[in-house]
Chain A
Amino acid sequence: MMYFILKIVHVVSASLWVGLIFLTGVLGYYYRKQDQVDPQVALQSLVKLEIRLGLICFLIQPLTGFSIIAIKQYNPMDVWVIGTILGYCLLGCLWLVLIFQQQRLLLLLAESEVSRNGDTPSFPRMHLVLLLSLFLVVLAMYYFMANRPL
């Protein structure tokens, strides 16, 4: 029973995190391009939610994941276990970089040194590369877990 509860919590927290990153990417882009609301206010509300909720979901993953490995006595040297752990570490690093970029953007917007049409062309490209990398790593992790030996 504990295994099923842990697995459901693991899947739901992963869903929340994936949904959060997707929405952050789409809304972050849209908030920067619109002119109805101050982009800094819009982005700040988004980033605040992203950090709070994202951190909770991100911390639940290894707790439930390692508990499942312990309960089911999976071999930690299996390819899929190593792949998912490495994938998780990579996701964490990429996500930290994304948050750092968002904080830097908020700082520049607060200092009003950046026009909305992008005096910082590196930001959209960097964000896009980061988001695509995040999704590729997430897909790789899903592939490992979907094709693990039963």
Chain B
Amino acid sequence: MFKALHLFFATLLLGINLISYFLLIHQRQNPTLSTLTLKVNLTIDRILLFVIGIVFISGTLLVPKYHLSFHTSWINAAYLFLSLATLLWLANYFIKRSIFLYGRSKLKSVSFHSVTLLIALLLILIIKDAVMQQTWLSL
């Protein structure tokens, strides 16, 4: 059951990150609507930080269960990428909050786009490593 929950919450993280990004782009012609969506997004982001914690804990519990080692390179890479994704998620939260409170600027827009896509890339790399059970990083 832990594995199913781990997979569910991990895929939910990636899904929400990308879909909220696509939705904000889709609604950019309507500033009032996109501000509203951003407000809901900020609340969801706060909840998702707990979900990231659940993914960390469930992943840690799965390692001994499946007779893996914490020294396995792809597992170390997964921890590293998820930690980076968490930090970027926090950064993205503050960027979105700044856009919501003080309006957009070119720098904030560029930061939002690049950080969101970087988070998605990190999560997809974790999925790729877990599927292939190997990583390109030498850890």
Interface residues of B (CB under 8 A from A): 1, 3-5, 7-8, 11-12, 14-20, 22-23, 26-27, 30, 32-33, 36-37, 40, 44, 124, 127-128, 131-132
A4→B132 contact, CB < 8 A: yes
Q: Is the interface of B mostly helix, strand, loop or mixed?
A: helix
Question: Shortest beta-carbon distance, B78 to chain A, in Å?
Answer: 14
CB pairs A–B below 8 angstroms (20 shown): A4-B128, A4-B132, A8-B128, A8-B131, A11-B127, A15-B127, A16-B14, A17-B15, A18-B12, A19-B11, A19-B18, A23-B44, A42-B33, A45-B30, A46-B23, A49-B19, A53-B22, A143-B1, A143-B4, A146-B4
Which B residues lie within 8 Å of A97 (CB)?
none
The answer to whether the Cβ of A36 comes within 8 Å of any Cβ in the partner chain is yes
Which A residues lie within 8 Å of B16 (CB)?
19, 22-23
Which B residues lie within 8 Å of A15 (CB)?
11-12, 14-15, 18, 127
User: Bound state CA distance, A42 and B23, in angstroms?
Assistant: 11
Number of A-B residue pairs having CB atoms within 8 Å of each other in the complex: 97
User: Bound state CA distance, A36 and B31, in angstroms?
Assistant: 11
A22→B36 contact, CB < 8 A: no
Which A residues lie within 8 Å of B23 (CB)?
23, 27, 45-46, 49
Contact residue range for chain A? 35 or more
User: Bound state CA distance, A139 and B2, in angstroms?
Assistant: 11
The answer to whether the Cβ of A79 comes within 8 Å of any Cβ in the partner chain is no
Q: Which residue of B lies closest to A45 (CB)?
A: B27
Which B residues lie within 8 Å of A74 (CB)?
none
The answer to whether the Cβ of A82 comes within 8 Å of any Cβ in the partner chain is no
B36→A8 contact, CB < 8 A: no
Task: Using known A-B contacts A12-B124, A45-B27, determine if residue A18 contacts B33 with beta carbons closer than 8 Å.
Answer: no
In this complex, the member of A17, A18, A138, A147 whose beta carbon has the largest number of chain B beta carbons within 10 angstroms is: A18
Q: Which residue of A lies closest to B131 (CB)?
A: A7
A41→B30 contact, CB < 8 A: yes
Q: What is the 8 Å Cβ interface bit string for chain A, positions 21-41, against chain B (1 contact, 0 not)?
A: 011001100110010110001
Which A residues lie within 8 Å of B27 (CB)?
45
A49→B3 contact, CB < 8 A: no
User: Bound state CA distance, A31 and B23, in angstroms?
Assistant: 14
